[in-house]
Structure 1
Amino acid sequence: MDYNVYLLATDPRNPCRDVIHSRDTRLKVKVFCLDEEGFSPDDNEIQLYGYADHKLYAFETIDVAAEDALDLVSAIQWYANYIGDPEMEILPEDPRPRAQYRDVQ
């Protein structure tokens, strides 16, 4: 079985702004800590969300290509293991109540 290898770029000024890079594809994923910063989803990208250690994260692709989108969940699972919460629940939509309201307007 093939395993994807992921690399992590971190911002020394913002510990909540990681970028996951796939070594084998062009997939790049920005990580946002929604409890600590604002987040406005880009309509041209894919967003998934996850709860880990009582924190809510948003994961957003960067210039996603259709063939790389398939690796998104495994990249998030890799990140969950990296931060020490392999049981992270991955969600398809922003679970925050105000995010749902914004979409209706």
Structure 2
Amino acid sequence: MADLKFYDVILKPIVTEKSMNSMADKKYTFSVHPNATKNQIKEAVEKMFAGAKVVSVNTMNLDGKNRRRGNTAGKTSKVKKAIVKLTADSPEIEIFSGL
């Protein structure tokens, strides 16, 4: 396990059409640190956003894509996404409220 602080776990919110539609069900999508566990993600969301109570955390590890530039081939970095579901009585997360 990685020794991560709660402010290092969540990197940025993911704003796509699919993630915006799932906000009606109180599900929020974040890009998280690749070594973060589900418990660390839950703790980080509850500490960073006041009043948020997490019911479940679903994570997915995405491998890097193959990229070419001329004769050189490589891969982009790996990404980990987390979909966090809040309780029904939790307030909405302010980051997403203005979108």
Higher relative contact order (CA 8 A, sep 6+): 2
Q: Which has the higher helix share?
A: 2
Is TM more than 0.5 here?
Answer: no
Q: TM-score, normalised by structure 2?
A: 0.31
Q: TM-score, normalised by structure 1?
A: 0.30
